[in-house]
Structure 1
């Protein structure tokens, strides 16, 4: 038995990473592949049986996992990101939630002929979206900031509020309806909100105090944060059932908006943990489904999904956005994106069991109906939201640009040539005269320390996907590479040498950890390129053809050429390094620093 359990758990982890990798390769949300893997392993092949594998620990595990995921998402919710959007977010989690609840309940009642009790409970479950589905979708779609911030805030805040609403409806049903449950429901709601906010705020204040006083060593901070989240969630639920999700959400928001806290390591750890938990949860819950139940629901269930997607969400968004600064195109995209996630799946399964035991008809049908909406919204929106965002012109440009540390002459001519080829650049330097000169040339530039808190708030990284550190200060270059390692992929962080290359122990002793990839090769440094500029070298872009290959380009002797960048046929920039793993082909452009070689007499 233990060997079977180990094999099943190993399969879940292996399937999770395969699905995540596949999603990364094809640029679709991983949830599609995770659900497919769970369905194949569970109801189709009968390899995975989560109830048998986890037993009574299944739903406690799911609950704790959802709490950790919500906390990780709430750590990214900074109030400074939503100026002017507060009212829209508030409306979406109040008025919008009410519209979604009532509309879904009515559609379920009249299209599927469910009882009123079960219809209202299902409507409450469909209020939630959640970071488990919103965050991966945003990575793929990359909508403009306004839309992204609203969806992120709505998804994280609506999860605990939707869970509370579902619990209230559930308690209302068990209490016998209006006669026995209305006053009790209001009392329970008040207790949930009070305990959730109180526990979250107090624990957030205490943890922030401990971090600021350095009473928790750095290597224990991730462990401490995880232990705190699980404890706050459990204790809050002990005082009032289902208040724990609100507590961990408030805890995360409190920490995210406390000044002076360094949360990068905790965020990095929690993001990795969330990916692991999301992968496991969707495979496990999908494996519990009964495919025959989908057939039993029939076309009326598809009609309910259609009402939720094409009627309720658009009406909700457009009403909640009245009077806001959102453009009509942004409102259209918001109206399209509202995928349901793991909270709806987990709570529906739990309540269905309890209601079925209590003798309520149609309760068991809530689970397949919930998964039908989850699968339908995720599949439809993940495949269409990206093209729709681009069609409406509310998608961020491809992150192909460069944040360049340094605004010196070398940085300026690199930025100008990149811009000529349609690549966005943004320079940053602490030298005011260099920044002013760059701006006069039409370049975007920031005056200040690129690793400061002020820079974090004021440097616009839309369309930026690379870091290029070419300042004459070796320490600043290395510090910038280290600081932005969570913003950019490691293979997209480049720094220039500032001294002659050395070998042996001297090289090892002076090399910076997380210092980025050495740009333009190991034999060139900042001084070499600056000297070439002083001697009249210029930046040039050369197009390769079938008749003029990269080898022909390198073989020319009339100029001394230093290839710096290559732009492929998809307008993706490749940077020449010592370990460059690309081969320029016909149709590519080569950007180089070229210096005329004097002809000997």
Structure 2
């Protein structure tokens, strides 16, 4: 493809198509991205990243990886790691060392790599990465402690593995006579400059955001530009220390008090998706099929050593003193897919070694990509069954997510909590969320469809979503989002009574079928009015002496049943058009109007 503009647009369109395909089939997007890159690159020679970018390819890849690592580090809140610190720390230190040694030894003997290249390969494949871990966690639905360990490891280990690869690269390019001294000096400069600039820039940016020194409309752009400046400055002072510097900067921002990073994080998440998608396709176009074929059967031995020796051994050693049982360790041993950083770093150092004429450097990229493809495919297809076999999946989702924080919603949620039914309220209105938290109701401030919500809300524990907000434009989007994630008959909303009376407000038939919460004519306004007139949410226990018939006779038109709880404490949402037959031993959560004021 000779037209650069057409080439760039094509990469963008293909990357979005791959992301959508991954979304539909529920696999990490890295797999279709790599396949498409190989097809349009070495297979049909439609696109050549080297020809497209020329000398700019290396800087583009470097800056993209820096942004990806910064976005990941913005999610590293120290409060989230409570109870898992030792395991994550060990996996990112001792575990990295174990994986590095095993992978290096295996690749040296199985692939006949020099010890220098084997050490570089081993360093590169120590990283996992959130871009492949997070989608896998969503599908596998492991216990919360395991999900947190895997997520934190994936984020923290990226810069550590990249830094290790930097040090090995420094050793390779140094002269044999001064290699050790050169490496020690490089290590000291890289760590010192990376930490210093990371802490300084993170603290400065935090002050700027906290004190509103930067206009709100410029914050995202300013932070992005400054982060790229920190990356470039750090690399200028100490070779390849920029990745560490931007990671430390992100962690500083994430953990500073009274610093809001949600808008920045949402912007960086969007940018990271674009960069990750484009990078994978572009890097895959540089692969040479002959190089992959020439790797031969030795690659199988290396893959086996990484998956069945290095990972289990690193988990076993890291778990000493953490209290994890063998089932939990087994699942952690099985889930360690490689992602964008491994691909990008391998491409970076392969380019650099080829520039200085290092013999055999071109073999690194195909080996790393084979590891990425194998770990993603095998573990994506099997991890859910492995978790089920080991009995370490999270319990069946039984929590209720209520979208909307109105007074009625808070009253209903509080009564559900009193009846031991787990519930969480989500809303973009801070006042509503503040009132919910003051009432000790779990609440999320923000859009429940966001990536931030997916990381922090433990979505795999929700079994039902009730849409009861006044946001008529947002409600259908929330409904479709969670129906896809959770399946049919899991998402319900309040009717708006506008289908027949207001043609301009009609919605699709599929969405209209979900608008059947509680009873005919029960709208958001209806509930708000009822609460304003003194209606209460209360629970009634049914017995042999006080049956559902007696309940109807006692409350008559004053009662609107909301939630029915059976003898096994399973909650059933009351829906219009679906017959409700509660039995003795059940409990009914209802909206009860004052006497003389029928609902």
Tell me what 2:340 maps to.
342
Per the alignment, residue 227 of structure 2 pairs with: 229
> RMSD of aligned C-alpha atoms?
4.6
What's 1:390 paired with? 388
What corresponds to 1:286 in structure 2? 284
Which whole-Å CA distance do the structure 2 matches of 1:57 and 1:490 have between them?
41
Unmatched 5+ residue regions in structure 1? 430-444, 471-476, 508-516, 541-557, 578-582, 586-590, 596-601
User: SS of the counterpart of 1:314?
Assistant: helix
Matched residue SS, 2:361: coil
Per-residue deviation, residues 216-252 of structure 1 (Å, max 9, x unmatched): 2222221122112211111111111211111111111
TM-score, normalised to structure 1's length?
Answer: 0.75
Tell me which residue corresponds to 1:552: none
2:167 is equivalent to residue 172 of structure 1: no
- Please give the alpha-carbon distance, in whole angstroms, between the structure 2 residues aligned to 1:294 and 1:248: 33
Counterpart secondary structure, 1:365: helix
Deviations 1:501-544 (A, max 9, x none): 9x99xx9xxxxxxxxx996677632168779998999999xxxx
Residue 259 (structure 1) aligns with:
257
SS of 2:423 mapped into structure 1? strand
Corresponding position of 2:450: none
Tell me if structure 1 keeps the 8 A contact 2:415–2:589.
Answer: no
- Residue number in structure 2 paired with 1:102: 101
1:555-574 alpha-carbon deviations (Å, 9 max, x no partner): xxx999989899xxxx9999
**Distance between the aligned counterparts of 2:19 and 2:330, measured in 1?**
29
Cα 1:116–1:8, aligned 2, differ >3 Å: closer, same or farther? same
Aligned-pair CA distance for 1:584 = 9.1
Map of 1:434-583 to 2, 5 A cutoff?
Answer: 447=440, 450=443, 463-464=461-462, 468=466, 489=481, 524=523, 525-526=526-527
How far apart are residue 275 of structure 1 and its match? 1.1
Task: Give 1:126 shift.
Answer: 1.5
Check 1:134–1:33 CA distance in 2 against 1; reply closer, same or farther (3 A cut).
same
Name the residue aligned to 1:305: 303
Q: Which residue of 2 aligns with 1:322?
A: 320
**Alignment partners' CA distance in 1, 2:261 and 2:6:** 36
Residue aligned with 1:245, SS: helix
User: Is 2:458 the partner of 1:425?
Assistant: no
Task: Determine if the alignment matches structure 1 residue 52 to structure 2 residue 45.
Answer: no
Cα distance between partner residues in 2 of 1:462 and 1:349: 35
**Measured at CA, do residues 407 and 50 of structure 1 come closer, stay the same or move farther in structure 2, by a change above 3 Å?**
closer
SS at match of 2:245: helix
What's 2:247 paired with? 249
- For residue 10 of structure 1, report the CA deviation from its aligned partner: 1.7
Contact 2:415 2:539 in 1 (8 A): no
Query: 2-side partners of 1:537 and 1:449: how far apart?
Result: 20
Kindly indicate whether the alpha-carbon contact (under 8 Å) linking 2:130 and 2:151 is maintained by their aligned counterparts in 1.
yes
Q: Distance in 1 between matches of 2:121 and 2:63?
A: 22
Distance 2:90 2:192 in 1: 21
Cα deviation for residue 315 of structure 1 reads 0.3
Evaluate the alpha carbon distance shift between residue 296 and residue 257 of structure 1 in structure 2; reply closer, same or farther with a 3 A threshold: same
Contact 2:235 2:242 in 1 (8 A): yes
Q: What is the rounded CA distance, in whole Å, between the counterparts of 1:239 and 1:350 in structure 2?
A: 19
Q: Which TM-score applies when normalising by structure 2?
A: 0.75
Secondary structure at 1:402 match in 2:
strand
Q: Deviation per CA, 1:570-601, whole angstroms, max 9, x where unpaired?
A: x9999979xxxxx999xxxxx99899xxxxxx
Q: How many residues are paired up? A: 521
In 1, Cα distance between equivalents of 2:493 and 2:63: 42
1:318: how far off? 0.7
Change (3 A) 1:87 1:534: closer
Q: What stretches of structure 2 of length at least 5 have no aligned partner?
A: 427-437, 447-452, 484-489, 506-514, 543-555, 565-569, 580-587, 593-599
Task: Call closer, same or farther: CA 1:323–1:182 in 2, change over 3 Å.
Answer: same
Matches within 5 A, 1:37-436: 37-177=36-176, 179-397=177-395, 401-404=399-402, 425-426=422-423
C-alpha contact (below 8 Å) 1:407/1:427 kept by paired residues:
no
CA distance in 1 between partners of 2:368 and 2:95 (Å): 19
Aligned 8 A contact 2:65 2:344 in 1: no
- The answer to whether the Cα contact below 8 Å between 2:416 and 2:423 also exists between their aligned partners in 1 is no
Question: In the TM superposition, what whole-angstrom CA distance separates every residue of 1:58-107 from its partner, at most 9, and x where no partner exists?
Answer: 12111111111111111111111112322222211221111111111111
Task: Report the 3-state secondary structure (helix = DSSP H, G, I; strand = E; otherwise coil) of the residue aligned with 1:28.
Answer: coil
1:403 deviates by: 3.2
Q: Relative to 1, partners in 2 of residues 1:66 and 1:576: Cα closer, same or farther, differing over 3 Å?
A: farther
Confirm or deny: 8 A CA contact 2:537 2:591 kept in the other structure: no
User: Residue 169 of structure 1: SS of its match in structure 2?
Assistant: helix
Contact between 1:70 and 1:131, CA under 8 Å: does it hold in 2? no
- Quote the Cα distance in structure 2 between the aligned partners of 1:245 and 1:487: 39
Post-superposition CA distance 1:388-412 (Å, at most 9, x none): 2233232335656313456777557
3-state SS, counterpart of residue 362 of structure 2: coil
SS in 2 for 1:447: coil
Q: Is the Cα–Cα contact under 8 Å of residues 202 and 253 in structure 2 kept in the other structure?
A: yes
Aligned to 1:436: none
Alignment check: 8 A CA contact 1:498 1:526 kept:
no
Contact 1:410 1:529 in 2 (8 A): no
Cα distance, 1:210 vs. partner? 0.9
